[in-house]
Amino acid sequence: MIKAIKKNHITYYQGNIPIILSAPHGGEEKPSDIKTRTKGVFEKDDYTYELTELIIDEFYKQTQQTPYAVIADISRVKVDINRAKEDAYEDEKASVPYNQFHEFIKKSKSEIEKKFSRGLYIDIHGQSHPKGYLEFGYLLDNSIIKQHDSLLKEKTNIDNSSISALSKFSKECFIDQLRGPHSIGSLMCNKGYDSVPSVKLPYASDDNYFEGAYNTITHGSLNGGNISGIQIEFPYKEVRDTNKNRERCAKAFVSSLLTFIKIHLDLDLKR
């Protein structure tokens, strides 16, 4: 398996398949020479660092290949890498890991576009909403994904989503990509992980749903290109809370993602 490199408080895997994973909020390093932030969100997404590394390992087990991956070692109290620069840090020294994180993703996207012409970017987070669903974010808020299919499939929604590029390669329509039987949410439901949106749960009934933020806006296909993006919010209980549960979820997620990519990007990554 490809070994990681560490640079400027960021861990990077230069992969060999058209998938990019990122985890911005699981790091614990608190360099003393960088001022701690005084405003914004500071909470760590517990065990998302470990979950991301298990997903990388599971990709290798199932495909003998490695995804690209960018993981923040630096703590969120120093820099919030899932925000625009003006909201991400208060000390200019924090711009170094911030820029490094995003440069690694840009580098990965460029390589994937050249080698494969298309790909998928996954931004990994953790949440503690009461219902404990996996939340797959496409930059469409809950009020939009609540809409009837006839409204949801409008071009405006497709263009405003982070997976607009999928339609260039998938034989299935936007609704099916988002919450149909072969959506990533439905594929995870089939493996025992209730997910929004999906056939089973087309939207969040309690309105607790994260649709995606800066990283998904920046690195998905909202602004062009052939790399679609999805933010994933993993619940804590029975998913991130123990190593056994993280391993089980990683195995299910990689299997589901490989099916999703085969159907929607016409890429069979299993050897």
Mean pLDDT of 224-232: 98
Of 45, 24, 21, the residue nearest 236 (C-alpha): 45
Q: How far is CA 108 from the centre of its chain?
A: 14
Q: Is the pLDDT of residue 132 over 80?
A: yes
Of 32, 37, 30, 109, the residue nearest 73 (C-alpha): 30
* Residue 270's pLDDT band (cuts 50, 70, 90): confident
Of 270, 246, 248, the residue nearest 192 (C-alpha): 248
Question: Tell me, what's the pLDDT at 136?
Answer: 98
Mean pLDDT of 74-95: 98
Question: Tell me, what's the pLDDT at 227?
Answer: 98
Instruction: Tell me which residue has tokens 């990519």.
Output: 261
What is the percentage of the chain residues whose pLDDT exceeds 70?
100
Compute the CA torsion angle 180, 106, 14, 44 (nearest 10 deg): -70
What is the percentage of the chain residues whose pLDDT exceeds 90?
98
Span 60-73, pLDDT tens digits: 999 999 999 999 99
47: left (phi over 0), alpha (psi -120 to 50) or beta: left
Question: Tell me, what's the pLDDT at 165?
Answer: 97
Q: Is the pLDDT of residue 264 over 90?
A: yes
* Residue 1's pLDDT band (cuts 50, 70, 90): confident
Mean pLDDT of 227-234: 98
Q: Is the pLDDT of residue 163 over 90?
A: yes
Question: Tell me, what's the pLDDT at 204?
Answer: 98
Of 206, 266, 231, the residue nearest 20 (C-alpha): 231
Amino acid symbol at 189: C
Q: Is the pLDDT of residue 91 over 90?
A: yes
Span 192-227, pLDDT tens digits: 999 999 999 999 999 999 999 999 999 999 999 999
Amino acid symbol at 120: L
Mean pLDDT of 26-54: 98
Mean pLDDT of 34-51: 98
DSSP letter string over 15-79? Answer: -SEEEEEEESS---B--TTSPPP-SS-----TTHHHHHHHHHHHHHHHHS--EEEEEE-B-TTT-
> Is the alpha carbon torsion for 100, 102, 106, 109 positive or negative?
positive
Distance between CA atoms of 133 and 112, rounded to whole angstroms?
31
Distance between CA atoms of 34 and 28, rounded to whole angstroms?
14
* Residue 99's pLDDT band (cuts 50, 70, 90): very high
